[in-house]
């Protein structure tokens, strides 16, 4: 599903340049649940941004579902993001003046789906994360865990190939974190490929594979025995 | 482009930011409000000036003689110049096609009497064409005609004020009125809107007065209207030619400024047109400057809004919004806020103008109003202004990098 070869990325700030990714080789097959770990500055967020086409790569190759991702202009990148990827963020990033279902329906809006169908599909996805009674609520009326579940429903809405989660539990207490991980595991069980960036070990153990980044290189890549989050809920 | 979804997106963001939308719109509404008021004021001044001209034909030229101020052709200075019928015929003969109507005139003060009512009025002896030069309206009866002229009939057409004062409720048509001891038949009553003074006058055929009083062909002055297709330069040129040829004919020094007065309305009109034209230009300039302030204000607020919504725009882009989607969102919002508030300002200003208009009727300021051209132009200007104001912020918004916007804070 994801193939990365010899990925390099540097940031230039004035006359200084910061070599963040120093040659990453990394493959993800369909249906995997991968945790990307590393201390801050290890390059894990940069890697996720490049995977998410939110940032460009300097050197190397990135193939997503057989499609080489290179020389993207903004419009093309937007199309690919919309079609291939679902994002889950640490700070949820819901639009605060839109109700839960309108937030979930937003990727569909950019696909040009009509309003009636958007609502139907948004409600279906909200129901699948257990938020059916809250479809008309604004984000400010929801708890942190509920907000993240809305965000997960939003990431699912466009039926993406890959879901990218950047510290999805970073802003949540441990009980809620496990609930969210339980949901992510269930989505993965249905065959969705998911990458989770985290620095929390217990969250990483709930994935099927853990990749450790250090100073811009992969230092460890192991399969783990998945801990089911439902046992902790 | 104008899908229902885009509208609901825009109204959503307007509704959820009522105060800033209001503040944004207010500056534009204010700009348009002032622009419309300024234009209406200029219009009012223009109306006021035009009213000063009364409602005589606006292409009138009046020739009236005085006394020479320079010796010339063997004559001493201080000679009284007298016009007569020959001079009228001379103008008719010399300038066919240049003039439209021409009429000589003698004015005389008369003591008028009907039964026990009496009063002192001015009688103007003219020919039938005069009705088109002074633009009087016949309320009853008729104006003097060619047969009156030929027969030197003792007929009068009196102003409504005269008729009212001498005849009270009675219908004066066909009745007799005694002027300086001679009996005249009333054939018509006229009114002259815009010039009530002239309604205290009477008209009689010039041939009648010439026969009765002097048995000469003298006239006091000559009124004519120039060909209405003439432009300003042609009109002025025409009165210059008349002046020159009459001075030659009457043996007056061409440089004598006092012997013959030629009053060309075109000059006064051109002055007023220049003046009000200049005022319109100035007020449009001021209005546009105020509007620019409004546009800059909107641009400023939009830039701020974009900053405030950076995260939201980043999220939208991460979810698949193309740069054009973002530009569209910002531009449409800007255009809608500008247009709606601008139209609001315009309607408010027009309401105010139409409320004030009937009350204001000072000599130099009358019936201020806003014409359709102003309304249409302002609307177009508003939409363009909205686009301009939104342009820079929209491009800025389109350039928002999702990773920067989404960086956890």
Q: What is the ipTM of this complex?
A: 0.89
pLDDT-derived band at A170, boundaries 50, 70, 90: confident
Kindly state whether residues B188 and B297 are assigned to the same domain. Answer: no
Kindly state whether residues B387 and B282 are assigned to the same domain. Answer: yes
- Indicate which of A43, A53, A93 best probes the interface with B, i.e. most B CBs within 10 Å of its own CB: A93
Domain assignment present for B264: no
Residues of chain B numbered 319-348 and touching chain A (CB < 8 Å)? 319-325
Domain range enclosing B278: 4-52+270-406
Kindly state whether residues B197 and B280 are assigned to the same domain. Answer: no
Per-residue model confidence (pLDDT) at position B409: 54
Decide if B367 contacts B360 (C-beta within 8 A).
yes
Q: Which residues of A touch B317 (CB under 8 A)?
A: 78, 81
Of B258, B278, B300, which residue is a domain's last? Answer: B258
- Confirm or reject contact between A93 and chain B (CB < 8 A): yes
Tell if the pTM clears 0.80, that is, is over it.
Answer: no
Question: Do A82 and B403 lie within an 8 Å CB cutoff?
Answer: no
Q: What share of chain A is helix, strand, coil (3-state, %, to 5)?
A: 40, 30, 35
Kindly state whether residues B47 and B71 are assigned to the same domain. Answer: no
Q: How many helices (H) and strands (E) does chain B have?
A: 13, 14
Question: Do A91 and B408 lie within an 8 Å CB cutoff?
Answer: yes
Domain assignment present for B359: yes
Task: Give the contacts of A50 (CB within 8 A, at least 6 positions apart).
Answer: A7, A9, A21, A56, A57, A62
What is the DSSP annotation of A73-101? -HHHHHHHHHHHEEEE-TT----TTS-HH
Domain assignment present for B265: no
- At A168, phi and psi to the nearest 5? -60, -20
Per-residue model confidence (pLDDT) at position B366: 67
- Confirm or reject contact between A13 and chain B (CB < 8 A): no
Q: Is A55 strand, coil or helix?
A: coil
CA B115 – CA B120 distance, rounded (Å): 15
CA B320 – CA A159 distance, rounded (Å): 13
Per-residue model confidence (pLDDT) at position A12: 85
Number of domains in chain B: 3
Angle between helical axes of B323-356 and A74-84 (0-180°, round to 10): 110
The predicted model gives A131-159 an average pLDDT of 92
- Confirm or reject contact between A167 and chain B (CB < 8 A): yes
Domain assignment present for B198: yes
- Is A16 a residue whose pLDDT tops 90? no
Domain assignment present for B60: no
Kindly state whether residues B92 and B109 are assigned to the same domain. Answer: no
Decide if A26 contacts A218 (C-beta within 8 A).
yes
Kindly state whether residues B246 and B315 are assigned to the same domain. Answer: no
Kindly state whether residues B372 and B343 are assigned to the same domain. Answer: yes
Kindly state whether residues B278 and B220 are assigned to the same domain. Answer: no
For chain B, 409 residues long, the average pLDDT of each consecutive 10-residue run is 69 76 81 83 78 69 91 88 91 90 92 89 92 87 92 92 89 91 92 80 92 87 89 86 91 89 82 81 83 80 82 87 88 84 86 80 68 77 83 86 71
Domain assignment present for B263: no
The predicted model gives A181-186 an average pLDDT of 93
What integer best gives the mean pLDDT of chain A? 90
Question: Do B316 and A111 lie within an 8 Å CB cutoff?
Answer: no
Kindly state whether residues B94 and B233 are assigned to the same domain. Answer: yes
Domain assignment present for B146: yes
Question: What domains lie within chain A, and their CATH numbers?
Answer: 2-94+160-232 (3.40.50.300)
Per-residue model confidence (pLDDT) at position B53: 64
Task: Give the contacts of A103 (CB within 8 A, at least 6 positions apart).
Answer: A94, A95, A139, A150, A151, A154
Give the residue from A39, A140, A131 showing the smallest Cα distance to A98: A140
Per-residue model confidence (pLDDT) at position B1: 46
Domain assignment present for B75: yes
Angle at B371 between CA B367 and CA B374, to 5 degrees: 130
What is the DSSP annotation of B53-113? TTTS-TTEEEEEE-B-SS-BTTBPTTPBP-EEHHHHHHHHHH-TTTEEEEEEEEEEEEEEE
Angle at B49 between CA B45 and CA B54, to 5 degrees: 145
Of B226, B249, B279, which residue is a domain's last? Answer: B226
Question: Do B322 and A49 lie within an 8 Å CB cutoff?
Answer: no
Kindly state whether residues B217 and B278 are assigned to the same domain. Answer: no
Per-residue model confidence (pLDDT) at position B203: 94
Per-residue model confidence (pLDDT) at position B52: 67
Kindly state whether residues B288 and B324 are assigned to the same domain. Answer: yes
Kindly state whether residues B91 and B178 are assigned to the same domain. Answer: no
Task: Give the contacts of B270 (CB within 8 A, at least 6 positions apart).
Answer: B232
Q: Is A164 left (phi over 0), alpha (psi -120 to 50) or beta?
A: beta
């Amino acid at each position: 599903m994801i193939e990365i070869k010899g990925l390099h990325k540097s940031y230039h700030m004035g006359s200084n340049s910061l070599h963040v990714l120093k040659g990453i080789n990394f493959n993800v097959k369909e249906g995997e649940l991968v945790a990307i770990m590393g201390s801050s500055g290890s390059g894990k967020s940069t890697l996720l941004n490049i995977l998410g086409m939110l940032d460009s790569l300097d050197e190397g190759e990135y193939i997503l579902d057989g499609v080489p991702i290179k020389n993207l202009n903004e419009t093309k990148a937007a199309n690919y993001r919309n079609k291939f990827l679902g994002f889950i963020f640490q700070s949820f990033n819901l639009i605060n003046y839109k109700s839960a279902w309108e937030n979930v329906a937003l990727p569909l809006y950019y696909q040009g789906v009509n309003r009636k169908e958007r609502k139907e599909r948004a409600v279906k996805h909200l129901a699948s994360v257990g938020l059916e009674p809250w479809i008309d609520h604004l984000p400010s009326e929801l708890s942190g865990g509920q907000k993240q579940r809305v965000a997960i429903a939003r990431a699912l809405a466009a039926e993406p190939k890959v879901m990218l989660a950047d510290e999805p539990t970073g802003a949540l207490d441990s009980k809620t974190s496990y609930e969210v991980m339980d949901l992510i595991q269930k989505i993965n069980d249905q065959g969705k490929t998911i990458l989770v960036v985290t620095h929390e070990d217990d969250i990483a153990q709930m994935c099927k594979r853990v990749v450790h980044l250090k100073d811009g290189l992969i230092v460890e890549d192991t399969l783990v025995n998945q801990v089911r989050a439902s046992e902790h809920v | 482009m104008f899908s229902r979804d885009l509208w609901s997106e825009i109204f959503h963001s307007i509704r959820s930011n009522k105060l800033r939308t209001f503040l944004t719109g207010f500056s534009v509404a204010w700009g348009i409000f002032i622009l419309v008021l300024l234009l209406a004021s200029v219009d009012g001044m223009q109306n006021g000036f035009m009213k000063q001209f009364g409602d005589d034909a606006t292409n009138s030229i009046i020739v009236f003689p005085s006394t020479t101020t320079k010796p010339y052709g063997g004559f001493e200075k201080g000679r009284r110049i007298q016009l007569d019928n020959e001079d009228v015929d001379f103008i008719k003969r010399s300038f066919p096609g240049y003039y439209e109507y021409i009429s000589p005139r003698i004015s005389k003060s008369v003591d008028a009497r009907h039964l026990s009512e009496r009063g002192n009025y001015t009688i103007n002896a003219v020919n039938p064409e005069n009705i088109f030069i002074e633009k009087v309206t016949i309320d009853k009866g008729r104006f003097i005609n060619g047969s009156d002229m030929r027969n030197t009939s003792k007929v009068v057409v009196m102003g409504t004020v005269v008729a009212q004062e001498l005849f009270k409720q009675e219908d004066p048509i066909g009745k007799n009125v005694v002027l300086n001891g001679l009996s005249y038949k009333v054939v018509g009553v006229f009114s002259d809107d815009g010039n009530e003074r002239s309604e205290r006058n009477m008209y009689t055929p010039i041939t009648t007065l010439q026969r009765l009083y002097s048995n000469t062909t003298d006239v006091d002055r000559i009124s004519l209207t120039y060909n209405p297709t003439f432009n300003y330069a042609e009109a002025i040129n025409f009165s210059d030619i008349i002046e020159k040829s009459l001075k030659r004919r009457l043996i007056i020094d061409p440089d004598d400024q006092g012997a013959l007065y030629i009053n060309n309305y075109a000059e006064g009109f051109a002055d007023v047109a220049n003046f009000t034209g200049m005022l319109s230009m100035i007020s449009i300039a001021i209005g546009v400057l105020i509007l620019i302030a409004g546009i800059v204000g909107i641009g400023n607020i939009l830039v701020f809004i974009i900053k405030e919504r950076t995260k939201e725009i980043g999220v939208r882009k991460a979810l698949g919004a193309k740069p054009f989607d973002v530009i569209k969102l910002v531009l449409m919002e800007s255009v809608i806020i500008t247009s709606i508030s601008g139209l609001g300002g315009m309607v408010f200003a027009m309401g105010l103008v139409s409320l004030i208009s009937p009350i204001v009727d000072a000599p130099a300021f009358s019936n201020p109003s806003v014409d359709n051209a102003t309304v249409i132009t302002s609307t177009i200007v508003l939409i363009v202004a909205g686009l301009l104001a939104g342009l820079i912020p929209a491009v800025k918004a389109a350039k928002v990098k999702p990773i920067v916007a989404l960086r956890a804070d």
